[in-house]
A and B are shown apart, each in its own frame.
Chain A
Amino acid sequence: MEVAGLLFLSSGLYMGWSLGANDAANIFGAAVGTRMIPFRSAAVICAVFITLGAVISGAGAAEGLSRLGAVNTLAGAFVVSGAAATTVMWMTRVGLPVSTTQAIVGAIVGWNLYSGSPTDSTALSKIVGTWVYGPILGAAIAFVLFFVVRTVLRRVKVHLITLDKYTRFAMIFAGAFGAYSLGANNMANVVGVFVPVSPFRDFTFMGLTMTGVQQLFLVGGLATAVGVATYSKKVMMTIGAHLYKLSPITAIVVIVSTATVLFLFASEGLKLWLDSMGLPSFPLVPVSQSQAAVGSVIGVSLAKGGRNLNLVLLRHIFVGWVATPVAAAILCYVALFFMQNVFMQTVYR
């Protein structure tokens, strides 16, 4: 692989790092922030399962994303990914709610506009549709799960100390599931735009073949792992204090329901099975983890009778729908101009 190839991949790695630093924290924030699980254990579980999810099941959502616009040069992909990552970082800095999904979609649309490629309206409406379904589905799952968990806990009458032990177990499993789903669904945001221009070739080792795309997802997974290891602790501590007002068990409900939403929109196996049964299936596209989480928090609030419903959260979702993609699209458009005219790179064919 050429050095230029690696250089151009760097913006994807940056996006991966950002995913690891921010979104991974949503999964283990409650557990680590309250010291129920030590950071190092959380980081290892997170890194391993994000990478597994990305390599095993990441391709489905990436394909869904590629229908939106197939960025056809490595330099173009570099700019698209870089613009999305910068938007995420900038919006995080100023404290605005942000999602990598919305950023990458905005950046791809920015590339489409610049290159004069048509934006597939079916693919776009499918993805934007999931921005609406994601939080709603998250709310519905969390709502049901909350009642199930509460009924079970009332029946079994576990001692607080034993419950604490089970809660830690559940946090580990929910965290692993959350990390896997995040890798499976959101790794598309990190390396998805590089898929058509992947600099990796298939290779076989001891009879096992790893495709170029899988290698790409592995690299994305590793970048995310670095993000988890280097930066997520700070975010986890903040989230822990914030999200934890929910109580540890409701935090688990939120994590599981968020992970389920991401999983539903990433699992090819599930889609094939639902299709074969003649049931409506979920499109394989990246959805916003933070918005699914917000939806889940609202679901729990509603299950509790809606007394603690925080309407500011709903406003955050709406801001995310509009502000992030628009900012990423504009940034991408401007950056493509510079890349083409100042750095003399081919950003589209």
Chain B
Amino acid sequence: MRPRFEALGGIFTSRTKSLQLEMDRYFSLIDEGVLMLQEGIKRYLEDRVDEFELKSREIDVVEHEADKLRRQIKHRLYSEMLIPDSRGDVLGLLETLDNVLDDTKHVMQQFSIEKPQIPEFIREDFRELNEVTVKSVLELTLAVRAFFREVYRVTEHLDKVHFWEYEADKIEQRLKRAVFASEEIELLSERVHLRYFAGRLSRVADQAEDVAERLSVYAIKRHM
């Protein structure tokens, strides 16, 4: 008897409320993860490596919690037969958001493992790329939250995601050109190494844009 009762929309319980809280918590974890990236890279560029390592470990914990929460939300959406019309879209959204957090964690991990030597003259570019990347993800989570509550506002946030992603691309290119034009960096391997890190960081913004593309379609579908 229970499944049918539940299928009536959980009318008599506050299960929907707790699911909302879980979703909000998930989006907060994405925000937290990317803010840790911001702080971590900032400290790395200031040569405060111990503090950076601390952030790197923290982001592991956040990513792990987000993974657990995502699986839980996915399970509940199906087992409690919620939002059948937009369930597929919501799950797609959660999965791709997970890629953003995964990439964020990997950037930190790679910095921690490979410890790239960043010459002084490109540190400012790295700092800027870091800031812009973080902004694109923070704007994305605003768009995602809007999708659940004020779908008609999604577009204005998505426009900003696209803007920051484009900025990240420009900085990445500028940085790579500077690296390969520089005489200060002698070894090709060092240049390639720096190019790799610029690319890794900018990929987080690319992932944010991928989610934004999906979200714009989901939002159109949800528009009355």
Contact = CB atoms under 8 A, between A and B. Distances in A.
Interface string A131-164: 0000000000000001001100110011111101
Contacts of B222: 160, 247
A31 B148 CA distance: 21
Interface string B41-76: 000000000000000000000000000000000000
Contact of A34 (B85, B90, B224): B85
B10 interface: yes
B152 interface: yes
Given A165-B16, A249-B224, A157 B83 contact: no
A339 to B, nearest CB: 47
Interface residues of A, number: 30
Nearest to B87: A164
A244 interface: yes
Nearest to B17: A162
B23 A248 contact: no
B224 A158 contact: no
A77 to B, nearest CB: 41
Nearest to A163: B83
Contacts of B90: 160
Interface in A33-78: 34-38, 40-41
A117 B142 CA distance: 72
Contacts of B91: none
Contacts of A153: 224
A158 B86 CA distance: 15
Nearest to A250: B224
A168 interface: yes
A163 B217 CA distance: 20
A35 B3 CA distance: 12
B11 A37 contact: no
Contact of A159 (B10, B11, B148): B148
Question: Which size class do B's interface residues fall under?
Answer: 20 to 34
Given A160-B148, A247-B222, A165 B10 contact: yes
A38 B7 contact: yes
Nearest to B147: A160
B139 to A, nearest CB: 19
Nearest to B90: A160
B9 A157 contact: no
Nearest to A253: B224
B82 A38 contact: no
A161 B224 contact: no
A36 B85 CA distance: 8
B81 A160 contact: no
A64 B90 CA distance: 51
B6 to A, nearest CB: 10
Interface in A149-206: 149-150, 153-154, 157-162, 164-165, 167-169, 172
A40 B4 contact: yes
Interface string A23-37: 000000000001111
A36 B150 CA distance: 22
A34 B8 CA distance: 13
A35 B20 contact: no
Nearest to A153: B224
Given A161-B83, A244-B85, A247-B224, A168 B149 contact: no
A41 B147 contact: no
A35 B224 CA distance: 20
Contact of A36 (B17, B84, B224): B84
A164 B4 contact: no
Interface in A295-330: 304
B19 interface: yes
Contacts of A172: 8
Contacts of A244: 85
A247 B89 CA distance: 14
B85 A165 contact: no
Contacts of B147: 160
A146, A150, A164, A248 — which one has the most chain B CB atoms within 10 A of its CB? A164
List the 3 closest A-B pairs by CB distance, nearest first.
A168-B9, A164-B83, A165-B9
Interface of A: 34-38, 40-41, 146, 149-150, 153-154, 157-162, 164-165, 167-169, 172, 244, 247-250, 304
9 contacts: A34-B85, A37-B8, A41-B8, A150-B224, A159-B149, A161-B16, A164-B82, A165-B11, A249-B224
Given A35-B84, A247-B224, 12 more contacts: A37-B7, A41-B4, A150-B224, A159-B148, A160-B83, A160-B149, A161-B16, A161-B19, A164-B83, A165-B10, A169-B9, A304-B224
